[in-house]
Structure 1
Amino acid sequence: MSRKNRVAVIGASGRMGKAIIQVLSQSKLSELSASVVSKGSVYLGLDSGLHSGLKQNEILFSDDIAKAISESDAVIDFSIREILPEVLEYCKASKKPVVVGTTGLVDSHKELLKETSKTIPIVYSPNMSIGVNLLFKLTEIAAKVMGDLADIEILDIHHRHKKDAPSGTAEKLKSILLETLGRSESNIVHGRQGILPERDPKEIAVHTFRAGEVIGDHTVYFFTPEERVEITHKAQDRKTFAVGSVKAAEFLIGKQKGLYDMFSVLGL
């Protein structure tokens, strides 16, 4: 039997890190090789398997990013955007492919991803869920058919702890609509308040809810005078993002340098 792919997880003690470790524990193709947490973390030295609700795996939480990456076949990063440059630098130095699922990235981070992808293969997506990427594709199809006939709204619902708003997924939906319909940021409205004029036909509104413990719900609405089309994805378990992340890491192994997305991973 051939050796399993060794996958290092950066941000391993968080919600997504725990889910990825759980998925890796059941994978036939890949296994956890390192679990990295931030410097000074209270989890340093603890067993990552036990922390993730599994049996002991003897892979302790560490803050040694360089060692974790150098000893892996692929890296999955779900940490924080502030350390993304460091993660990418170590991946580039070790020539290791990396899946970036960290949210809240700004233009400078995205430019850094593009630049680093000239050296190593990278998968970057604002959402690793297989179902959400179908949502992206269906939104593109609906926009081509209905976009110039319909009023369009995006609804983004997440748990009360989420820091970025709108979500990366909502931002991706927005960019798909703008690109497909040839519109610009000037057509985007975030919420509404006060006495407003009649809606501009090219307007696209983005609404954000942050409440309770919702894992992640996204809906794109297309309203015409005669009908309404709603395209919705509701995450029921964070493992959906973890399954996609591990699939992306496995996709990258052996790939040429370049910046890939989940459409590439899923063949969409």
Structure 2
Amino acid sequence: MSKIKVGVIGAGGRMGKAIIQVLSLSKKSELSAAVVREGAIYAGFDSGNHAGIKETGILLSSDLQKACEGSDVLIDFSTHTGFESILNAALQNHKPLVIGTTGLTDSDKTLIQSAAKTIPIVFSPNMSVGVNLLFKLTEIAAKVLHEDFDIEVLDIHHRHKKDAPSGTAMYLKEVLLGASKRSEENVIYGRHGMYPERDQKEIAMHTMRAGEVVGEHTVYFFSPEERIEITHRAQDRKTFASGAVKAAEFLHGKSKGLYNMFDVLGI
């Protein structure tokens, strides 16, 4: 049986390299295209060499249309600035799309929902199997504990990350709001200066950007008698890359629809 052909958009970045590494070992799928931004200095390099593995024979290129034509599924880990053109290319070529790009706006998310009426899409703020278990465990804990426990979220990433809080932290917030029946009015982002006594329904979001931390998220539940912490620590970007490849394999053969990693993992 032939392998699923996967085109990687954002192939020159950290996540793109990790996905290429995972695809090189996959029994179900293989790299078919490696797209980088227009004018990238490494355009024309072999994608395997750029990712730190043996040559793949597939060169880094900014030709998005060619990538669409030669791929069964696309994985996008580029930047939010080019997102709309990538989504339009997937639509025009009727290609399934895995979206791992962070920093997307509400307008972008509306476009995703509309596009999913035509093509199959997996959209998730985090592709890691472990992080998606973190989402599920957080939901369960919040439903049980929310009335008597204070809730705080801490997001730690490397010093190069531009968005804060992270997409994963923001999704954790949505999980907490839904499970505890609270609203955005109950959320604060960091603390500075003098505050009144903590409101019982408050959820606080905290961000650290330092060193080369791949990604760490902790949800804290505090009562006067005890503290519960649910933590996920990523030690290698391959955990996200492996999830993205699983998502691409899940989409192959689907006609349309909007899916998340819970669908991919069956949880």
CA shift digits 1:216-262 (9 cap, x unpaired): 00000000111111000000000000000000000001113111000
Q: Which residue of 1 aligns with 2:69?
A: 70
- SS class of match (1:114): helix
- SS class of match (2:249): helix
CA shift digits 1:146-201 (9 cap, x unpaired): 01110000000000000000000000000011111121111001111112111000
Q: Which residue of 1 aligns with 2:221?
A: 222
1:227-238, aligned counterparts within 5 Å? 227-238=226-237
Q: Which residue of 2 aligns with 1:170?
A: 169
- Equivalents in 2 of 1:194, 1:119: separation in Å? 49
Give the residue type in structure 2 aligned to 1:249.
Answer: A
Give the residue type in structure 1 aligned to 2:14.
Answer: R
- Equivalents in 2 of 1:39, 1:193: separation in Å? 41
- SS class of match (1:115): helix
- Equivalents in 1 of 2:65, 2:178: separation in Å? 38
Give the residue type in structure 1 aligned to 2:139.
Answer: E
1:1-268, aligned counterparts within 5 Å? 2-268=1-267
Q: What is the count of residue pairs matched by the alignment?
A: 267
- Equivalents in 2 of 1:209, 1:116: separation in Å? 34
- Equivalents in 1 of 2:147, 2:169: separation in Å? 20
- Equivalents in 1 of 2:27, 2:147: separation in Å? 46
The CA deviation at 1:94 is 1.2
Give the residue type in structure 1 aligned to 2:168.
Answer: T
The CA deviation at 1:46 is 0.5
Moved over 6 A (4+): none
Q: For structure 1, list consecutive stretches of 5 or more residues without a partner in the other structure.
A: none
The CA deviation at 1:82 is 1.4
Give the residue type in structure 2 aligned to 1:24.
Answer: L
CA shift digits 1:96-148 (9 cap, x unpaired): 10000001111011001001000000000000000000000000000000011
Percent identity over the alignment?
65
- Equivalents in 2 of 1:239, 1:36: separation in Å? 19
- Equivalents in 2 of 1:92, 1:59: separation in Å? 24
CA shift digits 1:41-62 (9 cap, x unpaired): 1011000000111111110001
TM-score, with structure 1 as normaliser: 0.99
- SS class of match (1:23): helix
Give the residue type in structure 2 aligned to 1:147.
Answer: H
Report the RMSD for the aligned CA atoms in angstroms: 0.6
- SS class of match (2:156): strand
Give the residue type in structure 2 aligned to 1:131.
Answer: G
